[in-house]
Amino acid sequence: MSAVGFAPGKIILLGEHAVVFGHPALAAALPQGVRVELDAAQSFEISGVGVPVDDPRVLVAAREIGAAFGITGARVRVTSELPTGGGLGSSAAFAVALARGVAALAGRVGCEPEIEEAAFIAERLFHGRPSGVDHTTCARGGVVLFRKGPPTRVEQVSVARSLPLVVASTGKARSTATKVAGLARLVEEAPARWEPLVARLGALAEAGAKDVERGAIAALGAKFDEAHALLSECGVSCPELDAIVDVARKAGALGAKLTGAGGGGAAIALAPEPGPVIEAIRAAGFAAHLAWIGSETA
């Protein structure tokens, strides 16, 4: 018996970190993703690229996902089209792709809620106490406005006009759990100082969803800029992310920000004329590519 599973990567357009505190986040599936090929076996063996197959948590995650569908083992080969460097949901895409593959191996169809549940078990192993926005976006696709539960609320956002998004990688690995814990500490120690700022990040995500629905991309770009400033104030940016954002704006982007946990990983820039923005980011020493968000392929 063999089976395959695929799931796209994700980007957070607005609301990262705020989502952990119960505020909304606006996130989108990327055209690229993670694919797994499975052959039935006695126990789980994982090989390939795109996920840290040597990390023991990957095997534990596979066993947990397997258990959710009554599968005790499979030889799993992983391939990933996601740029390396993190921030683009590679762990969440892997978890959803594997859950889809395992469900297929178990002969289960139409079980998306169980697939999301199993993928969330894996995400908790990788990231501590994640909000769930990453794997939910990878599983649902398109653009979503997400609020963590209980009960989790997920609205699919219609896209009036595909978003020309330049995705840039710092190439610097980061830990989501550390960044989330750092902000949680600030909020706990001085809520009056930090809570309004976190709430504003969530409000930008909610308002940004309306911009996406209306095709108001200049307004969305301005929200990217405000969100990046707030996230920097929260201590989750880094010099590389600030450099990408600065270079992208100077090259004509309507707005730019870090995406995901920060401290490394990736940044995004809204760029109706993406060529000069991509060139400028590459000239500054970072990888960059164009992703159309909300097009048929995302």
Cα(287)–Cα(76) distance, rounded to whole angstroms? 29
Candidates 14, 17, 95, 143; binder of ligand MEV (CB under 6 A) is: 17
Q: Which of 26, 119, 144, 180 binds ligand MEV (CB under 6 A)?
A: 180
CA distance 292 to 295: 6
Tell the smallest beta-carbon distance from residue 280 to ligand MEV (Å).
25
Structure tokens at 166: 């330049």
Asked whether the beta carbons of 97 and 123 are under 8 A apart, the reply is: no
Residues contacting residue 230 through CB under 8 Å, at least 6 positions apart? 197, 200, 201, 204
137, 92 contact by CB (below 8 A): yes
Binding residues with ligand MEV: total (CB under 6 A): 13
Query: Between 104 and 258, whose beta carbon lies closer to ligand MEV?
Result: 258
SS (HEC) of 4-52: EEEEEEEEEEECCCHHHHCCCEEEEEEEEEEEEEEEECCCCEEEECCCC
Among 80, 90, 131, 136, the residue binding ligand MEV under the rule CB under 6 A is 131
By CB under 6 A, name the one of 202, 221, 255, 260 that touches ligand MEV.
260
Active site residue 39: no
Q: Which stretch binds ligand MEV (CB under 6 A): 59-67, 130-138, 196-204, 277-285?
A: 130-138
The label of the residue with tokens 């960059």 reads 288
Q: Residue 8, interface with ligand MEV (CB under 6 A)?
A: no
In angstroms, how far is CA 225 from the centroid of its own chain? Answer: 19
For ligand MEV, the binding residue among 115, 133, 198, 230 (CB under 6 A) is 133
Among 1-9, 15-23, 107-115, 199-207, the segment contacting ligand MEV (CB under 6 A): 15-23
Name the residue among 21, 36, 3, 1 with its Cα closest to residue 199. Answer: 21
Q: Are the C-beta atoms of 266 and 110 separated by less than 8 Å?
A: no
Catalytic residue chosen out of the listed positions 134, 211, 225, 242: 134
Q: Which of 217, 261, 270, 271 binds ligand MEV (CB under 6 A)?
A: 261
Q: Which range, of 38-46, 125-133, 219-227, 238-246, touches ligand MEV by CB under 6 A?
A: 125-133
Contact 30, 167 (CB under 8 A): yes
Which range touches ligand MEV (CB under 6 A), out of 16-24, 63-71, 195-203, 215-223?
Answer: 16-24
Least separation in angstroms between residue 16's CB and ligand MEV is 4
Of 192, 222, 220, 228, whose CA–CA distance to 293 is shortest? Answer: 220
Please name the helix (run of DSSP H) or strand (run of DSSP E) that holds residue 293, with its range, or none: strand 287-293
For the CB of residue 176, give the shortest distance to ligand MEV in the complex, in Å: 5
Of 3, 19, 165, 217, which lies in the binding site for ligand MEV, with binding defined by CB under 6 A? Answer: 19
Closest to ligand MEV by CB, 105 or 139: 139
Query: What are the catalytic residues?
Result: 134
For ligand MEV, the binding residues (CB under 6 A) are: 12, 16-17, 19-20, 130-131, 133-134, 176, 180, 260-261
